[in-house]
């Protein structure tokens, strides 16, 4: 069986890479994209991706960004 690499996980890791390379604003934009995209997910998908969504929220809060 092949494990799929989920959108949220990929975006999260890419954003962390951007941050590590000094591109903080771009990383923040990717994290916001994760959070924004999560709002339209069906419950089963939201449950599956919850970890990455929560990590994106934590990253944003750590960087002084509060989302409603």
2: in domain: no
67: in domain: no
Band the pLDDT of 66: cuts 50, 70, 90. Answer: confident
Q: Which residue has the tokens 């944003």?
A: 60
27: in domain: yes
15: in domain: yes
Q: Is 27 exposed, middle or buried (0-12, 13-18, 19+ CB in 10 A)?
A: buried
44: in domain: yes
pTM for the whole structure? 0.86
Q: Average of pLDDT values for 15-41?
A: 96
53: in domain: yes
47: in domain: yes
Contact in structure between 35 and 53 (CB atoms under 8 Å): yes
Closest C-alpha among 40, 52, 44, 42 to residue 7: 52
Give the chain's domain count. Answer: 1
Residue 5 parent element (H or E): none
Distance CA 2, CA 37 (A): 25
Is residue 3 scored above 70 in pLDDT?
A: no
68: in domain: no
Which range marks the domain in which residue 52 is found? 7-62
Residue 5 has what pLDDT?
53
Q: Average of pLDDT values for 38-57?
A: 93
């Amino acid at each position: 069986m092949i494990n799929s690499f989920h959108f949220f996980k990929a975006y999260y890791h890419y954003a962390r890479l951007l941050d590590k390379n000094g591109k903080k604003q771009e990383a923040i934009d990717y994290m916001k994209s994760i959070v924004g995209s999560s709002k339209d997910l069906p419950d089963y998908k939201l449950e599956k991706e919850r970890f990455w969504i929560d990590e994106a929220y934590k990253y944003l809060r750590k960087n002084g960004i509060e989302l409603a």
